[in-house]
Amino acid sequence: MDKPDKLAQVEQDVLSAMKKPGLGYLAALGCSATLFLTLLGLWGYQMTTGMGVSGLMNPVGWGVYITNFVFWVGIAHSGTLISAVLFLFRARFRSSFNRPAEAMTVFALLAAGLFPLIHLGRTWKFYYLFPYPTQRMLWVNFRSPLIWDVFAVSTYLTVSVVFFYVGLIPDFAIARRYKEGLAKRIYGFLSLGWTGTRRQWKNYNQLYLFLAAFATPLVASVHSVVSWDFAMSIIPGWHTTIFAPYFVAGAIFSGTAMVITLVVPMRKILGLGRYITDDHFESIAKILLFTSLVVSYSYIVEFGLASYSGNPFEMETFRYRALGDYTVMFWIMISCNSLIPLTLFVRSLRRNVKYLFVLSLFVNVGMWVERFVIIVTSLARDFDPYAWGTYSPSIVEVGITLGSFGLFFTAYLLFLKTLPVLSITEIKEHL
Amino acid sequence: MGNRMMFRDREEFLAALRNLAREGVSQKRIRVETPFYVHEVDEILPTTPAKVKNFALLGAASGTVTGFAFTILTSLSWPLIVGGKPIVSLPPFVIIAFALTILFGALSTFFGFLILARLPSVFGVVPKEEFGNAFVITVEPEETE
């Protein structure tokens, strides 16, 4: 096949994913959408009945809702790492993963954004978080980490959406060429009338570079800010300086695992093996292994800091974490995040896509559990034994948690059928 | 309507473009459309660098200024001591200013791109002709200069 034919082949291969959906797809979409509708129903039930329907209590006022928030923001991170950071480092394998990873970032942030609202209880008061001129002329407290969160996460969502959209502009123009009637107009509209002139490409190239440069610091900053929601307090187990880098490494680790979870079935079902090769998966597996080692190192440092602190509350919190009421969760976390990923030192396992898929599921579970362990164990036993208590999530919280996965997968499945799943233009450029 | 050349091969396209440049055809008369960014085009037809970066700088700087001004002025408008911290607490305000630097910078770069690339283009939404994966050079007649 000569080069021009190869270019056309790339377009057809990627756009063929957008053909009429099969039964399997519709079933998956139906399940995800049902889970999301369950979330909405349970959320409505919680709003009308009150926060008593959740398992939240004294002293554990932050439970799985905040766990989910941290988990989903973390998932978003590797999308930015793959699309922006690897772009700046000129990593070629990026073009096989960047589009699904960017989509994942946006959808994970949508899921994350729900949880502070759900956790508020009186959701309709959410606008109190935004700085706006009130009748009383009182502004928000900019010294509060929760306000930093509002700025960090909303900036992250906006920049991620812009970056995702900008990457799609030339691909929308390609999709327009393959469509007829109304669909042609819609893709033409979304492409902003892109025709590939020299002026457009020259400015586009610089735009993409600068957006990547703007998005790159967000990889480090957003989860640092999320970690300060905890670290700025004086709760033992939270009040530690390692939290920001620890959270950032965990975020990239969990997000990379989620990329593997999403891309392995996508590659198989859509027949994209030619563009997403085992070499590419090996590169992603190396990122997973590296971040797993950083996370494991953070676990060790965290215990070390507590041991040498001379602070009995700190020391007891970490003993409790490993051996207390939540010991099972703690050891699941260690197994999934620190021990099982060590197998990636074996090259044949890094190149075994099925193995990577299973491993990524373990990491997803491990990273969710990690956030649960950090949040709940520290609150369950802080300073005063009189105020200790153990928490377990209620059925409403479990349903809402599953519903967030429903939202995420519904959005992702819709993405597969409506937008080009790989960056056609970039793949063509590298042919 | 100018003289149009279409190429399926990138190298042939670049060779033709080099010929035009060698013949001294004015850059203004040459219109190029490509399926992806071809950096050699800018070497053959040297032009001023894209100005999107100016929008990036302007946006980012205005974000930093807004971030500090907003936090400081609102804190001063109702001076309320919280947690024994100073009214103007710069360390936390840096976080807000940082977020706004990125936000304003990214949005300004995007809108700057739209202005400079002359997008959205109404005529391009459903263009009369599309060239697919062809590399196209159109040389406009001399009188349009």
Q: What local confidence, expressed as pLDDT, does residue A164 receive?
A: 96
By Cβ distance, the residue of A166, A201, A203 closest to B34 is: A201
Q: Which amino acid type is present at position A399?
A: G
Question: How many Å lie between the alpha carbon of A192 and the closest alpha carbon of chain B?
Answer: 4
Say how far apart CA A73 and CA A160 lie, in whole Å. 12
Residue A197 — left, alpha, or beta (φ > 0 → left; ψ -120 to 50 → alpha)?
Answer: beta
pLDDT digits (tens, 9 = 90+) for B33-70: 999 999 888 888 888 888 999 999 999 999 999 999 99
Across all residues in chain A, what is the average pLDDT? Answer: 94
By Cβ distance, the residue of B41, B99, B127 closest to A151 is: B99
pLDDT digits (tens, 9 = 90+) for A345-390: 999 999 999 999 999 999 999 999 999 999 999 999 989 999 999 9
Across all residues in chain B, what is the average pLDDT? Answer: 90
Confirm whether A320 is domain-assigned. Answer: yes
Q: What local confidence, expressed as pLDDT, does residue A108 receive?
A: 97
Percent of chain A with pLDDT over 70: 99
> DSSP letters along A71-128, please?
HHHHHHHHHHIIIIIHHHTT-TTHHHHHHHHHHHHHHHHHHHHHHHHHHHSSGGGGGG
pLDDT digits (tens, 9 = 90+) for B99-127: 999 999 999 999 999 999 999 998 888 88
Query: Does residue A116 contact residue A69 with C-beta atoms inside 8 Å?
Result: yes
**Residues of chain A with C-beta less than 8 angstroms from the C-beta of B53:** 206, 210
Q: What local confidence, expressed as pLDDT, does residue B143 receive?
A: 65
> DSSP letters along B62-87, please?
HHHHHHHHHHHHHHHHS----TT--S
- Please state the pTM of the whole predicted model: 0.95
Say how far apart CA A87 and CA A248 lie, in whole Å. 19
Q: What local confidence, expressed as pLDDT, does residue B130 receive?
A: 84
Question: Among A152, A132, A163, which residue's Cα sits nearest to residue A225?
Answer: A152
Confirm whether A303 is domain-assigned. Answer: yes
Q: How far is CA A180 from the centre of its chain?
A: 35
Band the pLDDT of B131: cuts 50, 70, 90. Answer: confident
Q: What local confidence, expressed as pLDDT, does residue B145 receive?
A: 46
Interface test with B, best of A14, A207, A425, A428 (most B CBs within 10 A): A207
**Residues of chain A with C-beta less than 8 angstroms from the C-beta of B127:** 188, 193, 195
Q: What local confidence, expressed as pLDDT, does residue B129 receive?
A: 83
pLDDT digits (tens, 9 = 90+) for A165-208: 999 999 999 999 999 999 999 999 999 999 999 999 999 999 99
CATH number of the domain encompassing residue A188: 1.20.1630.10
Query: Does residue A379 contact residue A320 with C-beta atoms inside 8 Å?
Result: no
For chain B, positions 65-124, list CB contacts with chain A under 8 A.
Answer: 70-71, 74-75, 77-78, 80, 82-83, 85, 89, 92-93, 95-96, 98-100, 102-103, 105-107, 109-110, 112-114, 116-124
Question: How many Å lie between the alpha carbon of B102 and the closest alpha carbon of chain A?
Answer: 6
Q: What local confidence, expressed as pLDDT, does residue A1 receive?
A: 62
What single DSSP character describes residue A339? I
Interface test with A, best of B47, B73, B115, B133 (most A CBs within 10 A): B133
Interchain CB contact of A322 with B (< 8 Å): no
ipTM of the complex: 0.94
Mean predicted confidence (pLDDT) in B4-26: 89
Range of the domain at A241: 14-430
Distances (CA, A) of A153 to A69, A110, A132, B33, B89: 11, 10, 18, 38, 22
Percent of chain B with pLDDT over 70: 97
By Cβ distance, the residue of B74, B77, B113 closest to A207 is: B113
Q: What local confidence, expressed as pLDDT, does residue A86 receive?
A: 87
Query: Does residue A93 contact residue A275 with C-beta atoms inside 8 Å?
Result: no
By Cβ distance, the residue of B56, B78, B133 closest to A7 is: B133
Say how far apart CA B34 and CA B130 lie, in whole Å. 11
Q: What local confidence, expressed as pLDDT, does residue A137 receive?
A: 81
Q: Does residue A405 register a pLDDT over 50? A: yes
Question: Among B97, B36, B48, which residue's Cα sits nearest to residue B71?
Answer: B97
Interchain CB contact of B12 with A (< 8 Å): no
Query: Does residue A336 contact residue A363 with C-beta atoms inside 8 Å?
Result: yes
Q: Does residue A17 register a pLDDT over 90? A: no
Strands (DSSP E) along chain B, which ranges?
Answer: 3-7, 30-33, 135-139
pLDDT digits (tens, 9 = 90+) for A222-242: 999 999 999 999 999 999 999
Question: Among A423, A428, A2, which residue's Cα sits nearest to residue A171?
Answer: A423
Residue identified by tokens 């976390």 is A333
Q: What local confidence, expressed as pLDDT, does residue A248 receive?
A: 95
Question: Among A273, A231, A266, which residue's Cα sits nearest to residue A357?
Answer: A266
Range in A47-61, A78-92, A139-153 the model is least confident about: A78-92
Residue identified by tokens 């209620």 is A394
CB-based contact B110 A162, cutoff 8 Å: yes
Cα radius of gyration (chain A): 23
Interface test with B, best of A136, A186, A203 (most B CBs within 10 A): A203
Q: What local confidence, expressed as pLDDT, does residue B1 receive?
A: 60
CB-based contact B105 A214, cutoff 8 Å: yes
